[in-house]
Protein backbone atom coordinates (compact mmCIF):
# COMPACT_ATOMS: atom_id res chain seq x y z
CA UNK A 1 0.00 0.00 0.00
CA UNK A 2 1.24 3.46 -0.83
CA UNK A 3 0.17 6.61 0.95
CA UNK A 4 1.29 10.19 1.38
CA UNK A 5 0.46 12.91 3.84
CA UNK A 6 0.41 16.54 2.76
CA UNK A 7 1.31 19.04 5.45
CA UNK A 8 0.26 22.69 5.61
CA UNK A 9 1.78 25.09 8.13
CA UNK A 10 -0.40 27.05 10.54
CA UNK A 11 0.84 30.27 8.94
CA UNK A 12 -0.32 29.03 5.52
CA UNK A 13 -3.77 28.23 6.93
CA UNK A 14 -3.91 31.71 8.44
CA UNK A 15 -2.99 33.22 5.09
CA UNK A 16 -5.25 31.28 2.70
CA UNK A 17 -7.98 29.78 4.90
CA UNK A 18 -8.86 26.24 5.86
CA UNK A 19 -10.54 25.08 2.62
CA UNK A 20 -7.69 26.21 0.35
CA UNK A 21 -5.30 24.70 2.92
CA UNK A 22 -7.07 21.34 2.63
CA UNK A 23 -6.69 21.63 -1.13
CA UNK A 24 -2.98 22.48 -0.74
CA UNK A 25 -2.44 19.47 1.53
CA UNK A 26 -4.09 17.29 -1.14
CA UNK A 27 -1.79 18.67 -3.85
CA UNK A 28 1.30 18.08 -1.69
CA UNK A 29 0.24 14.53 -0.86
CA UNK A 30 -0.64 13.80 -4.50
CA UNK A 31 2.78 15.04 -5.65
CA UNK A 32 4.48 12.50 -3.36
CA UNK A 33 2.63 9.50 -4.77
CA UNK A 34 4.27 7.29 -7.39
CA UNK A 35 0.93 5.59 -7.99
CA UNK A 36 -1.79 8.21 -8.46
CA UNK A 37 -5.34 7.50 -7.24
CA UNK A 38 -8.04 6.90 -9.81
CA UNK A 39 -10.79 7.86 -7.35
CA UNK A 40 -11.04 9.87 -4.11
CA UNK A 41 -13.52 9.43 -1.27
CA UNK A 42 -13.90 12.51 0.91
CA UNK A 43 -15.39 12.23 4.35
CA UNK A 44 -18.22 14.74 4.60
CA UNK A 45 -20.68 16.47 2.32
CA UNK A 46 -18.47 19.26 0.95
CA UNK A 47 -16.08 18.60 -1.93
CA UNK A 48 -13.20 20.90 -1.03
CA UNK A 49 -11.13 19.54 -3.94
CA UNK A 50 -13.23 21.53 -6.38
CA UNK A 51 -11.63 24.88 -7.06
CA UNK A 52 -13.92 27.85 -6.53
CA UNK A 53 -15.29 29.24 -9.77
CA UNK A 54 -14.20 32.74 -8.96
CA UNK A 55 -13.35 34.70 -5.86
CA UNK A 56 -10.69 37.02 -4.53
CA UNK A 57 -8.61 34.10 -3.19
CA UNK A 58 -8.37 32.22 -6.49
CA UNK A 59 -4.81 33.46 -7.00
CA UNK A 60 -3.59 31.79 -3.81
CA UNK A 61 -5.59 28.58 -4.09
CA UNK A 62 -3.40 25.61 -4.92
CA UNK A 63 -3.51 24.67 -8.59
CA UNK A 64 -5.40 21.39 -8.67
CA UNK A 65 -7.02 21.76 -12.07
CA UNK A 66 -4.38 19.48 -13.58
CA UNK A 67 -5.25 16.73 -11.07
CA UNK A 68 -8.43 15.26 -12.44
CA UNK A 69 -9.85 12.44 -10.38
CA UNK A 70 -13.45 11.49 -9.64
CA UNK A 71 -14.55 12.37 -6.09
CA UNK A 72 -17.23 10.69 -4.02
CA UNK A 73 -18.56 12.49 -0.97
CA UNK A 74 -19.55 10.28 1.94
CA UNK A 75 -20.78 11.57 5.29
CA UNK A 76 -19.12 9.66 8.16
CA UNK A 77 -17.03 7.73 5.64
CA UNK A 78 -14.44 7.00 8.32
CA UNK A 79 -17.05 4.80 10.04
CA UNK A 80 -18.25 2.99 6.91
CA UNK A 81 -15.28 2.78 4.53
CA UNK A 82 -12.09 0.90 5.42
CA UNK A 83 -9.91 3.03 3.12
CA UNK A 84 -11.10 6.29 4.67
CA UNK A 85 -10.81 4.87 8.16
CA UNK A 86 -7.23 3.76 7.45
CA UNK A 87 -6.36 7.17 5.97
CA UNK A 88 -7.77 8.83 9.08
CA UNK A 89 -5.59 6.67 11.33
CA UNK A 90 -2.46 7.30 9.22
CA UNK A 91 -3.05 11.06 9.33
CA UNK A 92 -3.69 11.07 13.08
CA UNK A 93 -0.59 9.00 13.84
CA UNK A 94 1.55 11.35 11.71
CA UNK A 95 0.05 14.44 13.37
CA UNK A 96 0.48 13.01 16.86
CA UNK A 97 4.15 12.37 16.11
CA UNK A 98 4.61 15.96 14.89
CA UNK A 99 2.99 17.20 18.10
CA UNK A 100 5.25 15.03 20.28
CA UNK A 101 8.27 16.49 18.45
CA UNK A 102 6.85 20.01 18.92
CA UNK A 103 6.47 19.28 22.66
CA UNK A 104 10.25 19.04 22.87
CA UNK A 105 10.55 22.60 21.52
CA UNK A 106 7.53 24.03 23.37
CA UNK A 107 7.22 21.91 26.55
CA UNK A 108 4.77 24.23 28.33
CA UNK A 109 1.85 23.46 25.99
CA UNK A 110 1.40 19.78 26.93
CA UNK A 111 1.43 18.64 23.32
CA UNK A 112 2.85 15.24 24.21
CA UNK A 113 -0.52 14.55 25.84
CA UNK A 114 -3.12 16.79 24.18
CA UNK A 115 -1.47 16.55 20.70
CA UNK A 116 -2.62 20.06 19.86
CA UNK A 117 -6.28 19.75 20.77
CA UNK A 118 -7.84 22.57 22.76
CA UNK A 119 -7.55 21.04 26.21
CA UNK A 120 -7.87 23.31 29.23
CA UNK A 121 -4.12 22.95 29.81
CA UNK A 122 -3.35 23.94 26.23
CA UNK A 123 -5.67 26.96 26.27
CA UNK A 124 -4.23 28.09 29.62
CA UNK A 125 -0.69 27.86 28.18
CA UNK A 126 -1.68 30.00 25.19
CA UNK A 127 -3.25 32.58 27.52
CA UNK A 128 -0.15 32.55 29.73
CA UNK A 129 2.60 32.34 27.09
CA UNK A 130 1.01 33.45 23.83
CA UNK A 131 0.70 31.57 20.57
CA UNK A 132 3.69 29.92 18.92
CA UNK A 133 4.41 29.69 15.20
CA UNK A 134 2.60 26.33 15.31
CA UNK A 135 -0.71 27.91 16.32
CA UNK A 136 -3.30 29.15 13.84
CA UNK A 137 -3.40 32.79 14.85
CA UNK A 138 -6.48 33.53 12.76
CA UNK A 139 -8.50 31.28 15.06
CA UNK A 140 -10.12 32.39 18.29
CA UNK A 141 -7.17 31.80 20.62
CA UNK A 142 -6.92 33.00 24.20
CA UNK A 143 -5.10 36.30 24.42
CA UNK A 144 -1.65 36.31 25.92
CA UNK A 145 1.84 37.67 25.39
CA UNK A 146 3.02 38.32 21.83
CA UNK A 147 4.88 35.66 19.87
CA UNK A 148 8.17 37.40 20.47
CA UNK A 149 7.50 37.29 24.22
CA UNK A 150 6.79 33.52 24.00
CA UNK A 151 9.92 32.91 21.96
CA UNK A 152 11.96 34.58 24.68
CA UNK A 153 10.25 32.68 27.53
Question: Does an H or E element contain 41, and which?
Answer: strand 40-43
Q: What is the pLDDT of residue 68?
A: 83
Helices and strands: H and E segment counts in the chain: 7, 2
pLDDT confidence bin for 90, thresholds 50/70/90? very high
Average pLDDT over residues 126-145: 89
The overall longest dimension of the chain from CA atoms, in Å, is 49
Distances (CA, A) of 27 to 24, 68, 112: 5, 11, 29
What's the pTM? 0.82
Q: What is the pLDDT of residue 60?
A: 47
Q: What is the pLDDT of residue 143?
A: 79
Q: What is the pLDDT of residue 64?
A: 64
Amino acid sequence: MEYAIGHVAASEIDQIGIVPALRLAWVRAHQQLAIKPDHVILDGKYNWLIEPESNLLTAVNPPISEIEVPVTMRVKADATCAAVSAASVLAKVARDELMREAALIYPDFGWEGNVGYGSAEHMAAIARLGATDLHRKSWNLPTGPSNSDQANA
